[in-house]
Amino acid sequence: MITIGRFLKEKRINKKLSRRKLGQITKIKEGFIAAIEEEKWEKLPEKAIVAGFVKSISSELGLRTTQVMALFRRDYPQISLKINPDPDISTKFVWSPKITFFLVSLGVVLLVSIYLLLQYISFITPPKLIVNAPLEGQRVSTTKVEVSGFTDPSATVSVNRQPVLVNEDGSFETSLEVDSNTKEIEVKSRSRSGKETVVRRTINVEFPSGEQ
């Protein structure tokens, strides 16, 4: 029993037409013509569109449309097919609330991740420490020397092992008692994780005659 696909294929060959040529004439894709001839209905659009293809092909081949359509109705599967749409037609992108939720969630996760990373880096990095006074090699002629500078607000500071109050902006200052044996001022800043930054300044203590 001859089927619609085989029938159309034989008639096309008899007309000495290639699938490509027939496609150019009928404006039907070569792949669709092949699928009709091989009766691979799942690779074709919906039945009504395929019926239009069959009519165009039969007309171009000089066949009786009523005979061809009768074969088509007989051979086309009666069950529902999962028809493939035209593969060249791209699916139109539609913005949806799900996409918005996904992007917002992704943004939140990235921000939190970046924040945690910065906090971790800050935690494991030694604190910054800037000592404004005393200067390196500074001459001191009194029993006290002013020590000041800046560090991280969360850090603790000591000057020659004596704790110093750190202000909310990270600044600190103190007066350190010195004598003729004091040669160096050591300023140490210590972070919550135990990381330390140390700045040492050499001073020259020279009291006037008669002073200690």
pLDDT tens-place string over residues 40-73: 999 999 999 999 999 999 999 999 999 889 989 9
pLDDT in tens, 116-162: 998 888 778 899 999 999 999 999 988 999 999 999 999 999 999 99
- Decide: pTM greater than 0.75: no
Alpha-carbon span 15 to 22, nearest angstrom: 10
Is 137 buried (19+), middle (13-18) or exposed (0-12) by CB count in 10 A? Answer: exposed
The pLDDT score that the predictor gives to residue 89 is 47
The pLDDT score that the predictor gives to residue 86 is 53
The pLDDT score that the predictor gives to residue 193 is 86
Q: Which of 18-22, 40-44, 86-90, 158-162 has the lowest mean pLDDT?
A: 86-90
The pLDDT score that the predictor gives to residue 1 is 80
The pLDDT score that the predictor gives to residue 14 is 92
Average pLDDT of the chain to the nearest whole number: 88
Q: How confident is the model at residue 104 (pLDDT cuts 50, 70, 90)?
A: very high
* Tokens 């990235």, residue located: 110
The pLDDT score that the predictor gives to residue 209 is 65
Q: Where are the domains of the chain?
A: 4-75, 129-205
Say what percent of the chain tops pLDDT 70: 92
Alpha-carbon span 178 to 99, nearest angstrom: 68
The pLDDT score that the predictor gives to residue 145 is 93
4-75 and 129-205 in the same fold: no
Alpha-carbon span 57 to 68, nearest angstrom: 10
**What is the average per-residue pLDDT within 202-212?**
76
Nearest by Cα to 12 from 69, 70, 56, 78? 56
Q: E strands of 3-100, at which residues?
A: none
Fold of 4-75: 434 Repressor (Amino-terminal Domain) (1.10.260)
Q: How confident is the model at residue 85 (pLDDT cuts 50, 70, 90)?
A: low
| CATH (residue range 129-205) | 2.60.40.10
Q: Could you tell me the CA-to-CA distances from 186 to 133, 167, 180, 182, 203 in Å, in that order?
A: 11, 19, 16, 11, 11
- Position 178 pLDDT exceeds 60: yes
Alpha-carbon span 207 to 87, nearest angstrom: 94
